[in-house]
Amino acid sequence: MTQTYQNHMVVLTGAGSGLGRALAINLCRNGVRVAGFGRRKSALLETANEAGKLFIPIATDVSDPAQVASAFQQVRAISPVTHLINNAAVYPHRDIFAETAFTFMETINTNLGGMVACTREALTDMGSVGHGSIVNVSSFADVLPAQCGAAYSVSKGACTIFSRALVADLSDRLPGIIVTTWMPGILATDMGIPEGMDPKIAARWGAALALWNDRTLNGAVFEMDREILAPQGFKRRLKNLILAKSQKPRRISLTTSD
């Protein structure tokens, strides 16, 4: 595995805990270098202890574009960025009467602003070589918002739209840059619920998706390990029926091990 991924450099946000830590450990144990961003240096060092020498901890608040730019400069001093997993997110549980415009935008600035800032920096490297992959971690929170989660729900809905916008902007000029949206499901993390899925299981899917080099994935959306196909209009369904064509959702193949 190490030989296969020796030229890869993954920037992973939110690497200090939960799903981000599980992703970092999985990738590093499979020979992939990971630059892990997170606000707490101590948490990143805990991830490093488990992930090993291929993990590069970089304390960064992704809601601050200046810190993001500085963090990417540190990564580029080691290697160009080939993969980006936009995983960082906060989920403050606040009733709308306790929310203010300021606190609402704090959540947006981390969950969406951090994604935009990191993507723009990563595209500096990916755009110059014409290939790379970006995985934007999202959720169904915009479809089924939970109580006391307005800011989170809005931010995650915007993240999904941002993926579509990236595909619209890049697919013609830079078809080698693969943008996917991944919804890992409800996890047993601080942001999830105790009865949720072990993040180590989800991390196997997320790591494999990030390393899946297939241009036809551009614009694809996955929930856990299964692709969610875009709804088709009547004419498209009729045409496919006449031509005996059917599109089947893809599954994420586990090319990495635990």
Return the H-helix or E-strand segment holding 122. Answer: helix 114-129
DSSP 216: G
| Reported confidence tier of residue 28, pLDDT bands at 50, 70, 90 | very high
To 5 degrees, how large is the angle CA 132–CA 137–CA 138? 135
Q: Single out the residue of 48, 64, 89, 72 nearest to residue 189, CA to CA.
A: 89
- Give the contacts of 172 (CB within 8 A, at least 6 positions apart): none
pLDDT at 258: 57
- The pair of three-digit structure tokens given for residue 100, joined into one six-digit string: 């203010």
**pTM (two decimals):** 0.92
Identify the burial level of 102 via C-beta atoms within 10 angstroms of its C-beta, where 0-12 means exposed, 13-18 middle and 19 or more buried: exposed
Over residues 118-136, the pLDDT tens digits come to: 999 999 999 999 999 999 9
Q: Single out the residue of 77, 82, 73 nearest to residue 135, CA to CA.
A: 82
Over residues 44-81, the pLDDT tens digits come to: 999 999 999 999 999 999 999 999 999 999 999 999 99
| Selected residue with higher pLDDT from 155 and 4 | 155
- Give the contacts of 116 (CB within 8 A, at least 6 positions apart): 162
- The pair of three-digit structure tokens given for residue 136, joined into one six-digit string: 């934007």
pLDDT at 239: 55
- In whole numbers, what is the pLDDT of the chain averaged over residues? 92
CA distances from 170 to 76, 98, 136 (A): 22, 40, 15
Mean pLDDT of 218-238: 80
> Residue 137: helix, strand or coil by DSSP?
strand
Over residues 231-252, the pLDDT tens digits come to: 755 555 555 556 555 678 999 9
